[in-house]
Amino acid sequence: MSTTTPAAIDPRPLRPLPFVIGILIVAAIVSSFESTMMYTALPDIIKDFDTTPGDAGWVLTSFLLVGAASAAISGKLGDAFGRRNVLIVVLAASIIGSVISLAAGSLEMIIAGRAIQGLAGGLIPLCIGVLRENVPQKNLPVAVAVVAGAAMWGGAAGNIVAGNIVDAWGWHYIFVVAAALAAVSAIGACFLPSPIFKAGLEKVDWFGGVLFAPGIALVLYGIHESSEWGWTSGETIGFVLGGLVVLAAWVGWELRVDVPLINIRFFFDRKLGLTLVATALVSFGTLGVSGFIGQMVWQTPESAPVGLGLSASNAGALSFGIGLIGFILSPLSGRISRNGRSHRAFIIGSTLGIIAAVLSAILLDTIVGFVIAQIVLTGATGFILSSLPNLIIEGVPEANTSEAQGVYMVTQTAFAGIGASIGTVLLSQHLVEGTAFSSRAGYTTVFAMVAVAAALALVAGLFMRTGSEKSPEGAGTNANPLTDAVA
């Protein structure tokens, strides 16, 4: 192998490895914390601004829509201008969004601030790209797993931390904490090693970005609102189909241009294609439905057919503690993923996802039993979320790392939304007469759906064992699967 290319320099860090990983852990937590921090604040915002839940919900929706587009576009910009540089810019935008929301005198200004803050959706693809630039190949799978695990834990922590902040000081101070966290991360990022790969301005497909952002936003908005509108309503169908039409036009454009925003041809590669299919399946079930159903079971009154009657604070504390277990397990997934074996960690995760779904259906009646089921679910989530980014890394050239991670993040977001929406519909079809609560049969149906999706993901993971898997020597280099995929 030539030693003249940047990718061949190993080990790479110009800073201590714990420092690099630590800064990126904080950045990943910023992204996941900001995505969940406003859920507990919504009741207070509705009261303070005398508004409706639907209007206040835009505080969440604006972040989701911008975050999905940012995941893909920021990844490409990082590949073009340097991932560290774009990481700092995105963190700065997050701080600005927090300040706008903090100073807001109207709901509209909070929504605007949250939309700007939504650019933080691009942080995790950028973090993975920075890791691949700076971490030696032998340590890379574990480093990626730890950062992904931190993001998972940050999301779990968002609700309980934000809830305590709201109770103690009011919802405004959530933005103070978010801005401070982003500022610490941004300052630390300034001391990360200089970027290795920078394609430059002429390598950015701006028109592709203009097409992609509204396309994915329309689809996600339709999915997000489908639980209220219904899947067969004209609004849902209109938004989703409209977005798909725009995305189809975007795909056609990307296949024609020399330097696309996202090189779709990468995903013709067998392993990458299977990775996206597996991502869709586990996001739909294990990541999308199980988490939100779990919160419902915790907090639904004991008088309901299914419900454990926990307070919001107790449910949040349990979620926080269980999420911490997933973070602790993430290095184990990384060790299993070494030497091109990320599919093994994914197989473990999807298998645990099946077990968690079965246990959840059986152990709905007791707190201890359901805690056991949720611990297994968290183990599944930890293995899945730490193995999928490593699978992406194994399949794309180093210069395209953040771009491909962005596609993975968008896929995860879209199918998690679809899963949560369909889970809600299934529960609503099994309401006990005269109540607003679903029967046990409704929950059993939902968990059966999750188990089937996890089983299909397991099959996809088993097929990843052959095909375009890279050798240990090829991982982390600029070897290009595209030539094999389209030859």
Q: What pLDDT digit, counting tens, does each position of 283-326 carry?
A: 998 988 877 788 778 878 888 888 888 876 777 788 888 888 88
Alpha helices in 366-439 (DSSP H): 367-395, 401-428
Least confident interval from 309-313, 335-339, 379-383: 309-313
- Does any domain span residue 2? no
As a whole number of angstroms, the distance between CA 158 and CA 49 comes to 23
- Both 371 and 417 in one domain: the answer is yes
- The beta strand positions in 227-369, using DSSP E, are none
Q: Is residue 487 part of a domain?
A: no
The answer to whether residues 447 and 360 touch, using CB atoms and an 8 Å cutoff, is yes
**Domain at 110, CATH number:** 1.20.1250.20
Amino acid at position 71, single letter = A
φ, ψ for residue 188, nearest 5 deg: -60, -40
Highest mean pLDDT among 47-61, 194-208, 267-281: 267-281
pLDDT for 383: 92
Q: Same structural domain for residues 235 and 294? A: no
- State mean pLDDT over 209-218: 85
486 in any annotated domain: no
User: In terms of domains, do 363 and 250 share one?
Assistant: no
Domain holding 164, by residue range, is 10-199
Q: Is 5 within a domain?
A: no
Domain-embedded: residue 235: yes
Last residue of a domain, one of 217, 245, 260: 260
Judge whether 481 lies within some domain: no
Same domain, 139 and 180: yes
Q: What tokens does 104 get?
A: 């807001």
280 and 238 fall within a common domain = no
Under the banding of pLDDT at 50, 70 and 90, the label for residue 357 is very high
The confidence band for 355, taking pLDDT boundaries of 50, 70 and 90, is very high
Spatial separation of the C-alpha atoms in residues 136 and 476, rounded to whole Å: 9
pLDDT given at position 196 = 64
Segment 27-48 mean pLDDT: 87
Q: Are 123 and 90 in contact (CB under 8 A)?
A: yes
CA distances from 183 to 10, 149, 156 (A): 30, 21, 21
Q: What is the pLDDT of residue 483?
A: 35
In tens, the pLDDT along 183-209 reads 999 999 999 987 765 555 556 677 887
Q: How many folded domains does the chain comprise? A: 3
Number of H helices, E strands in the chain: 19, 0
pLDDT band (50, 70, 90) for residue 61: confident
At residue 136, the 3 state secondary structure works out as coil
Does residue 181 share a domain with residue 43?
A: yes
Residues 330, 394 within the same domain: yes
Taken as a whole, the chain contains a residue count of 487
> Do residue 125 and residue 23 come from a single domain?
yes
Are the CB atoms for 363 and 372 separated by under 8 Å? yes
Any domain includes 399:
yes
One domain for residues 169 and 210: no
Asked if residue 11 has pLDDT above 60, the reply is no
Tokens representing 363 are 């152990």
Which pLDDT belongs to residue 314? 78
Residue 350 has pLDDT above 80, yes or no: yes
Average pLDDT over residues 207-221: 85
| Cα three-residue angle 77-80-84, rounded to 5 degrees | 70
Count other Cβ atoms within 10 Å, centred on residue 304: 17
404 with 343, same domain: the answer is: yes
**Cα–Cα distance for residue pair 286/423, rounded to 1 Å:** 12
Residue 445 to residue 433: CA distance in whole angstroms = 18
* Mean of pLDDT over the chain: 83
Q: Are residues 52 and 68 in the same domain?
A: yes
Residue 485 lies in a domain: no
HEC per residue, 233-248:
CHHHHHHHHHHHHHHH
Q: What is the mean pLDDT of residues 50-74?
A: 84
Lowest mean pLDDT among 40-54, 154-168, 222-236, 465-479: 465-479
Distances (CA, A) of 160 to 58, 157, 166, 336, 341: 21, 6, 10, 31, 35
Please indicate, yes or no, whether residues 172 and 289 belong to a single structural domain of this protein: no
Predicted TM-score (pTM) of the model is: 0.81
Domain boundary among 156, 171, 199: 199
